[in-house]
Structure 1
Amino acid sequence: MKKIGFIVIAFLLFTVGSSSAQGFDLSILDNAIGMVNQGNNKQASNLLTDAISGISKEVKGSNTAFAPKIASQLGNLSGMIPGLSSGKTNVGGLQKVINTIKTLVAANRLKKMLGGGSLLGKGKLVGDNTNLLSQGLSLIGGDKPEVSRIGKLLGAVSKRSSKLDSSGLTAKIAKKVIGKKLGSSLNMLEGIL
């Protein structure tokens, strides 16, 4: 059993070092929670430490309103790691911080995509990050009235995001509609943070 656990840890640590088209693999955070739930707090602590480093590198140099919020949440997560190693961290609180980080990173990625040129050919990235943001929207927006409106806009983006990978007029129309809805939702979200 220990050998299998070691292989899983080695694979996950290898994955932490690799980068995808959108940056750090946020599923590592979910894997760390899975380890905590299995009682592997030491391995989870190591993964979370690596995750903090990977996310910090991804966000470094971002001048969105989300970057300072991510840094703050990474600080919270970092402060929980010593308690996790000793078994004294509230797992529910840890899960909330991790979900907040994932949500903020998704928002930051989307904001950078909007500011970085064309969304064409980025349907999967837009869709994945929009879904991640939608799932955690209440964590960062609370019960403010704008959250419902943002959620509706993100839902529309999510439904159309695959069209960004099309060609021709379909993709161009999708880019315009998605860019406008995504921009509006992210601007509203920045306003309530």
Structure 2
Amino acid sequence: MIIYKATNLINDKIYIGLTTKSLEHRISVHKKDSKRLNTYFYQAIRKYGFENFKWEVVDTAITMEELEEKERYYIKLYGSFDNKEIGYNTQSGGNNLYEITKEQRKQRSDRAKGKNNPMYGTISPMRGKKFTEDHKKKISEAIKKADRPHMYGGTNPSARKVKNIDTGEIFNTMTEASKRYPGLSRQSINHNCVGRTKKAGGFRWEYVKD
């Protein structure tokens, strides 16, 4: 049983979810559902393209109760429910995700135990660990560095240099360029850079090669 994160590589917005199956299985379900369901997350997948989302496991759990607790924790930690500028979650996680009874949760937990669990045979580094305040702080700091690599010496798609072809201006990031031109979004600049549109904000844009 895992907690996973989907990151939009265009605007860095994220979605936190849980599954009792493998990440690969959950991704395939999301891909299928995104074509027919109209949730906030699936609207984004259709808008930006499934290929522009990065999927990764952020934690594991042994029981359903632990899984739901961790989903609530990570949604709150990332702020993906409270701030729509950050994330796509429309609920705070855990029991709010599905209105299920204790008996149903037990059945789901039992089905995911032992050999029925896709993580069976592997030892999770988080197994048996509780969320102490110190542990939460360390996770929070690690997440900040992972989500803002351009601030810590890493690379990030949104941190690529872009050039306004018409004016010759070069900006270190799409965010910097969007601030220079009110009403111009990072998404529209990216779409123009990759050839999806002819212009963005009335100008032609391109990525600057290092």
What is the TM-score when the length of structure 1 is the normalising length?
A: 0.30
Which structure features the higher share of helix residues? Answer: 1
What is the TM-score when the length of structure 2 is the normalising length?
A: 0.29
